[in-house]
Amino acid sequence: MLFNSSVFVLFFLIVFLLYWFVTNKNLKAQNILLLISSYIFYGWWDWRFLSLIIFSSILDYYVSILIENETNQKKRKAFLLISMFSNLGLLGFFKYFNFFTSSFAQAMSTIGWEVDTVTLNIILPVGISFYTFQTMSYTIDVYRKEINASKDIIAFFTYVSFFPQLVAGPIERASNLLPQVERKRVFNEKWFNQGVLQVSVGFFRKMVIADNLGVYVDTVYANPDYYNSSTLLIATLFYAFQIYFDFSGYSDIAIGSAKMLGFKFNRNFNLPYFSKSVTEFWRRWHMSLSFWLRDYLYISLGGNRKGIKIMYRNLMLTMLLGGLWHGSSWNFVIWGGIHGTVLCLEKFTFEKLQIKNLGVFGMIYTFIIVLIAWVFFRATDFESSIFIIKELFSFNYGMPFIGDINVLFNAISMLIIGIGIDIYLFKSNHTLEDIGGFIKKPILIVSVSVLVMLIILFYSTTNNFIYFQF
């Protein structure tokens, strides 16, 4: 089920009414409603893959209890490894089987050994990367004795499958979300107002800004060799904002929907294109994934505790694996490698030169690095990526491809509004949640009404969220 569909609006309205007006006096009934609703939400796409979520939930629920009750460290570690290998095994099979077999065959062909590979027509379950990381973090936290294992199976299953963040995050830690699932929730008008505003902005960011930009981007990136440097530059700039407004829009809808149901998620985006370094960019972009990679991969590899060389190795491995997490393509690995290389260089030079802030120059240089890396993220294959990079630096600039002037005008106009909102948030140091909490109800109603009108007038097409593919 897509957020940006009339089906979801009706679905959420029904869940909301049942949640607050029918099951509101019984916590277990509320959680059962959320669990069933979440399974319906996910099963709407393909009910067969519900078995994967249920398997992961059962596995980590019981394994974590075994870990908590076990005093022998070797057995505790064995239980943890069972969880990790099982979850990563499922993720690896569905997401990377064909990628690794084809890559192996290509590598062997370079030395003259032709290998017959077995490739399967494997459908990637939506959201498997997100809920796998979420359940793994829970088990690891129990192993590290940072949280207690849940004894409420309904609450735990609800935590794993909670529909606002099920298919594309944010990746919520058990330490934040699970206690909220386990305790009684009461309707909060301020939270409701905050949620309504954030959901409305999220729909605007996705359906009006991102989808209109995507029409131009998809046209150009489908056949990049047809276009000159000017067109490729515009398409790449548009993609940088498309993916930001697409994914931050999804996060807004997820966070806002959850808040309307009485749950507070952690922030997932913090105006990343205002970052003054790539290091800062990763503290602002897809924050739930960034912090997950830091806490469960980088630190587990040794972090910065084993010397400078090992620290750089750990940082690079983290970003390479973070790139691979996004998809089974060498382009994603290269994208992660670009960010990893720049992060290592920044760490070295900033510490050596004692640089803390590069100011406006830092914003410009960071955006350029991020923009170049986005080419590999968006292009359909490695050859297309290299062609586009070469064209961008060949300075073969002339009149760009315009396409449908109405689509282009709508995209640019709405992009200006979207950037204007972000500039206001940056300068005022407010979040959407802050604004939703302190503006008066008449202004809130007008603001939401204007956003809804813009969505109705300017949305171009209903596309999947970009991060659904990960």
Domain boundary among 135, 166, 186: 186
Domain boundary among 161, 186, 211: 186
Q: What is the dihedral of CA 104, 110, 111, 117, to 10 degrees?
A: 30
Residues 25-76 pLDDT 10s:
999 999 999 999 999 998 887 788 888 899 999 999 999 999 999 999 999 9
Residue 324 within any structural domain of the chain = no
The percent of residues above 70 in pLDDT, for the chain, comes to 91
Q: Mean pLDDT for the chain?
A: 87
Residue 447 within any structural domain of the chain = yes
What does pTM read for this prediction? Answer: 0.89
Residues 143-200 pLDDT 10s:
999 999 999 999 999 999 999 988 777 999 999 999 999 999 999 999 999 999 999 9
* Domain housing 263: 190-276+357-469
Residue 319 within any structural domain of the chain = no
How many domains, in total, are found in the chain? 2
326 in catalytic set: yes
Query: Of 116-130, 187-201, 295-309, which gets the smallest average pLDDT?
Result: 116-130
- Is the same domain home to 182 and 202? no
- Is the same domain home to 447 and 407? yes
The one-letter amino acid at 10: L
- Is the same domain home to 96 and 206? no
* Contact partners, residue 437, CB within 8 Å, separation at least 6: 190, 193, 194
**Residue 104 reports pLDDT greater than 50:** no
- Is the same domain home to 389 and 411? yes
Determine whether 90 is exposed, middle or buried from the number of CB atoms within 10 Å of its CB (0-12, 13-18, 19+): middle
- Is the same domain home to 140 and 216? no
Q: How far is CA 308 from CA 54, 234, 320, in A?
A: 42, 40, 18
3-class secondary structure, 276: coil
**Residue 119 reports pLDDT greater than 60:** no
Domain boundary among 162, 186, 210: 186
- Is the same domain home to 134 and 89? yes
Q: b/e for 37-61, b at 16 or more Cβ within 10 A?
A: bbbebbeebeeebbebbeebbebbb
- Is the same domain home to 378 and 463? yes
- Is the same domain home to 173 and 195? no
- Is the same domain home to 103 and 85? yes
Predicted local distance difference test score (pLDDT) of residue 114: 58
Residue 322 within any structural domain of the chain = no
Residue 175 within any structural domain of the chain = yes
Count of Cβ atoms closer than 10 Å to residue 419 Cβ: 14
- Is the same domain home to 129 and 206? no
Residues 205-257 pLDDT 10s:
998 899 889 989 999 999 999 998 999 999 999 999 999 999 999 999 999 99
Predicted local distance difference test score (pLDDT) of residue 100: 53
Catalytic position from the list 286, 326, 339, 430 = 326
Residue 291 within any structural domain of the chain = no
Residue 195 within any structural domain of the chain = yes
- Is the same domain home to 142 and 194? no
Residue 309 within any structural domain of the chain = no
Predicted local distance difference test score (pLDDT) of residue 423: 93
- Is the same domain home to 182 and 197? no
Q: Categorize the per-residue pLDDT at 138 as very low, low, confident or very high, splitting at 50, 70 and 90.
A: very high
**Residue 296 reports pLDDT greater than 70:** yes
Longest dimension (CA), the chain: 72
